[in-house]
Amino acid sequence: MAMGSHAQTVTIPVETQNNALVLQTDGDKTLKMVYFGSKLGNAKEYEQIGKMYRQADDSGVLTEAYMASGSQSLAEPAITVTHTDGNKSLNLIYVSHTVTKVDEDVSLLAVNLKDPVYPFEVTLYYKTYFKEDVTEQWSVIKHNEKGEVTLNKYASANLNLKGNGFWLKQYHGNWALEMQPEEAKLTHGIKTIDSKLGTRANLYEPSMFMVSMDKPATEDEGKVVLGALEWSGNFKIDLELDVSNNLRVIAGINNAAAEYHLKPAQEFTTPAFVYTYSDHGKGDASRKLQRWARKYKIVDGQGDRLTLLNNWESTYFDFNESKLFGLLKDTKKLGVDLFLLDDGWFGNKFPRNGDHAGLGDWQENKLKLPNGIGSLVKEATADGVKFGIWIEPEMVNPKSELYSKHPDWVIKQPNRPEKYFRNQLVLDLANPKVQDFVFGIVDDLFTKNPTLAYIKWDCNAVIYNAYSAYLKKDQSHLYTDYVFGLYKVLERVRAKYPKVPLMLCSGGGGRVDYGALKYFTEFWPSDNTEPLERVFIQWEYSYFYPAMTSSNHVTDWGKQPIKFRTDVAMMGKLGFDIVVSKLSEQDLDYVHDALKNYEYLKDAIWHGDQYRLQSPWDNDAASIMYVNDSKSKAVVFNYLVNNRYGAGTKVPIRLKGLDPQKKYLVKEINLYPGSNSSIENNLVLTGDFLMTVGINPDVNSGRTSVVLQLEESR
């Protein structure tokens, strides 16, 4: 096709219930993304969109659907390659596309693009979830050249957004400081959010972000895209505001020190980039993502979860069988489903009595547990509770038998001093033998203890000195193959143990993404369980992850009373990590009552819609509510987050998501024994009133945490 000739254009609208993403070829058969936003009433008109923009200039094609480098586009590419002959140019031309209807809700669009000069092709995949307004986008790259092609950059996707200005909300953090938000207007050039940590890649920056268009979106107003990469390793999100004032978002595996060699006919499938769009603000967008996650991504997203008692903060490494038997009884006394035995149960030559030794040696420590895990599981059953266990299977302490036996299984430079993160090193999951070993840890636990009911899968070190003895000359594959290796292990675990609850943990929220959550039921948002801090941390995570995935444990961090701590932990998957025997009688009574309420409300919290009513960032009180599907039950959590004189709720808080026609019985629950509610007894109000006028939970320095239950009253 000669440049500039007027071949027929192909327009491909990718529609969901409310949105459309429109792809269109130009006269040169270059595939462009010409639109992403609200769906048009008349689908024929999508063809016209491209013509309305007169932004062309000498900088080349700026709206390519998957930007290739070294030929006609000069902006930040999605893909850069080095062909077998050393040539670095790539031009991707539209060939064909197919749409497969997976079911009522899900469709898969595949668009095949080829280089007219080199036998090199990319297929772009758009998996759409119609009702949820969510798209997962990824690419499959392959070639038929005479030898290996190097992929210098291989992003999952790039989006082209149009708007009168763009505002990025991003996150940064560190241990115990997860999900610190920042929002700013994007200026010209490239803003990058990335990780080069290898494992627990989110420690400093997660890949989740939001972009508002035209003006910063609020909770209920404005145009906003929410996105995240489904990948548990190094990622890179580039946001480039170009010379024509369009924003390009390029999301994928981080190509830093990670070029990938691709053999002829071998396929490289990138991880998916998941995104949603709403023109009704961040709240609506987040509910779409949450619904999608529950229905399609996380393990057992429509199912149940277990409440638990964890022993990490009550014993640390200092326990033995009889102490644990006591804790099993405490689990029952507390009234939760499961006891979770944390770190410290393994290692004999190098006992795990602290974090400096034993990781890698997954045999029960004979001094602490002479009768093994089996005896604990048996005792748990006798006590009427379930049993779960902590592992950190991807890691090794140099002081371990594993390290002495298999030094070549460890990621470290052969000729440089070792550098440790929490006294440990990372195992080389690119190596299939290491994959077998890691799978074996889990498999062995379940085989020996078939009633084992839960695993907390921890991951506490980053990758320093990235070098794999296994990968030999392909060292630049390590960061990528590590994650593929991890997913292979998790695939095997899930093939054999499809539903058992697994918690994705990292000492702090260093590890949560939809690449991993596909295999897990929940994650650990932060080691920081101080409840005031958690109000903020959980608030921000909730834009991207449903409440049921958020493991919230009541611990002894901070000075808040048991009520405040438990109320905050109830906004998700409730657990405890406290010394039960130290609870006063009243505290224990309070917890029992709260657990009863949780049982009654958990369906709304876990499977319902979440509404962020009042932000902790700019109010005296934070307010968050959950409504069940039939809008017959709801719960509103309110917390004082400002200690200044007179701080509290002076005006009513408007509720959301209720049925205006329904009448609701409002009742304050989770009252500490002996305290009275200041909310009127038997108060019945319509959804209309509650959403138009609102309700005042009467949060003040004497009532720092107030939980209101709403029940349809007939």
List contacts with ligand GLA (CB under 6 A): 312, 342-343, 355, 390, 458, 460, 505, 507, 524, 527
Residue of 614, 578, 691 whose CA lies nearest to 308 = 578
Q: How far apart are CA 607 and CA 303, in angstroms?
A: 9
Comparing CB distances to ligand GLA, the nearer of 230 and 527 is: 527
Shortest distance (Å) from residue 495 CB to ligand GLA: 26
Beta-bridge partner residues of 711: 633, 665
Closest Cα partner for 517 from 290, 256, 190?
Answer: 290
Q: Closest approach of Cβ 315 to ligand GLA, in Å?
A: 11
Q: Which is nearer to ligand GLA, 122 or 455 (CB)?
A: 455
Which long-range contacts (C-beta less than 8 Å, at least 24 apart) are formed by 553-557?
553/310, 553/529, 553/577, 554/529, 554/578, 555/313, 555/529, 556/313, 557/528, 557/529, 557/530, 557/531
User: In 431-576, where do the E strands start and end?
Assistant: 454-457, 502-504, 522-523, 551-554, 573-576
C-alpha gyration radius of the chain: 27
Residue nearest to ligand GLA (CB): 507
| Minimum CB distance to ligand GLA smaller for 264 or for 558 | 558
Residue 54: count other Cβ atoms within 10 Å of its Cβ: 7
Q: Which two tokens stand for residue 337?
A: 């489903």
Q: Which residues are annotated binding-site positions for substrate?
A: 175, 342-343, 422, 456-460, 505, 527
Amino acid, single-letter form, for residue 585: E
- Rounded to a whole number of angstroms, the minimum distance from the CB of residue 427 to ligand GLA is 17
Residue 278 tokens read as 């709403």
Residue 402 Cβ, how far from ligand GLA at the closest point, in Å? 17
The span from the CA of 458 to the CA of 392, in Å, is 5
Which CB, 219 or 355, lies closer to ligand GLA? Answer: 355
- Residue 76 vs 355, nearer CB to ligand GLA: 355
When the beta carbons of 191 and 352 are compared against ligand GLA, the nearer one is 352
What is the rounded distance in angstroms from the CA atom of residue 710 to the CA atom of residue 40? 38
Alpha carbons 277 and 135: distance in angstroms, whole number = 9
**Other C-beta atoms within 10 Å of 371: how many?**
12
Q: HSE, CB side, 13 Å, CA atoms: give it for residue 611.
A: 19
The Cα–Cα gap between 185 and 163 comes to: 12
* Cβ distance to ligand GLA smaller for residue 21 or 327: 327
Contacts of 225 (CB under 8 A, 6+ apart): 36, 159, 161, 210, 211, 213, 249, 275, 276, 277, 285
The span from the CA of 411 to the CA of 430, in Å, is 10
Could you count the other beta carbons within 10 Å of the beta carbon of residue 52?
9
256: three-class secondary structure by DSSP: coil
* DSSP state for residue 311 in the 8-state scheme: -
Q: Which amino acid is at 329?
A: K
Alpha-carbon span 658 to 686, nearest angstrom: 9
Structure token digits, residue 530: 């101080």
Strands 223-229 and 273-278: antiparallel
Shortest Cβ distance from residue 515 to ligand GLA (Å)? 20
Residue type, 132: E
Residues acting as catalytic residues: 458, 527
What is the distance between the alpha carbons of residues 87 and 74, in angstroms, rounded to a whole number?
16
Output 509 or 616, the one with its CB closest to ligand GLA.
Answer: 509
Q: Position of tokens 């009467």?
A: 698
User: Would you say 113 or 505 has its CB closer to ligand GLA?
Assistant: 505
Task: List the Cα angle 137/94/78 in 5-degree steps.
Answer: 45
590, containing H or E segment: helix 585-607
